[in-house]
Structure 1
Amino acid sequence: MIEIERKFLVTSDDFKASASAKNHIAQGYLNSHPERTVRIRIKGEIGFLTIKGKGNESGTTRLEWETELSLMDAKPLLALCEKGIIDKTRYEIPVGKHTFEVDEFHGENEGLLIAEIELKDENEAFEKPSWLGMEVTGNKQYYNAYLSNHPYSEWKTNQE
C-alpha cells in the first residue's frame, strides 16, 4: 500500500515511438485535500477508486490504496467529482528494468507532459531516457489533484 514514485517533466514526444501501451484516462476527485485524495478514474473500459495519503517530505513516498470498479459504477461516481475532470492519454514506455508512465494532458492542461516512475526504494537507480526533463517530484503544482483545480493553462506562462 506504499507508493514510491518520482515525477519528471517531459521535453519532447520522442517517447511515443517506444510506447508499449496507450490508454485514455478521465479522472476526477471526490476529495482533493492535500492530506488525502479520493480519486475516481476511468482507464479504457475499467474504473478505479483510489485513496492516497499525504506524501513524505520529499514527496516520493505515500500511502496508496486502489480497487477496481465496473465502468457502470465508475461513470456516476466520476459525475459526482469536484470540478476539473482530468483528461489525458497515458503511454507506458519500458526503459531498462523500469516502465515510465507518461501522461499527455488534454483540455485545460493541454501542453503538459509528465513522466512517472514507480520504484521499490526511494534511492533506487534507474535509466533516464533523453526525453526526461526536470524532476518535479514533491512539487504539488504537478499533482493531478492540483491540476484539476488549477489547470496548467492558467499558470504555464509563469513557468516558461
Structure 2
Amino acid sequence: MKLELREITEQRVRIKRDLPPTILGLDGLSQYRVVDAVSLDLQVSKDGSKYWLGGQIDALLKIECGRCLDMFEFKVKIDIDLLYLPLSDDKGASDVLVEESDLRAAYYQDEQIDLAQLVMEQFQLAMPMKPLCRDGCQGLCVMCGGNKNFESCQCVESWEDPRLSGLKSLLEQ
C-alpha cells in the first residue's frame, strides 16, 4: 500500500487506514504473523520536499515464545515520528557521523511512501529480544522436549562437564 505524496496538497493531512494482514506480504519465514487488520492513524505534514509522519500503529501479532515455542498474541502500539526525505538527499555510502536526528529519517522514492514497508520495519523494531508467552514460562525440558508449562516429566537433568571427568575419578578413589 503506497501513500501518494503528489496527492497531498494541504500543509497537514490526517490518514486513518486499516491495512488487511494480507497486504503486508509476510511469508511463512517471518518471526510473527499479523492476526487482525493493522490500524494506522497518521498525521502527514509537508514542508517542500520533506514529509513528516507522526502518529500510531496498532496491531495484534502472533509470535513464538522464546522458551516454550508456543505461539501467543502480542499487542503492539507503536508511536511513529519520522522525517521522509527524497532519496536523492541521501549522503551515500561514505563515512558520516550519525546524529540523533538521523535515526528518525527515512527516504522516499517516486513521490511514494510504502506504508506496508513502514509497518513491517516498525514491527521488527517493536519485537522483544526474547519474547515470553508469560512471565513465569518454564520452557521446554532439555531431555524429552516436553512443555514444562503443561506437563511434568520425570527426566533427570544432570549434566557433567566432560573436562572434569578425570577429577571425578580421583574423588571416587
- TM-score grouping bracket, smaller chain normalisation: under 0.3
TM-score computed with the length of structure 2 as normaliser: 0.22
| Rg (Cα) greater in structure | 2
TM-score computed with the length of structure 1 as normaliser: 0.23
Which of the pair is proportionally richer in strand? 1
**Higher normalized contact order (CA 8 Å, seq sep 6+, divided by chain length):** 1
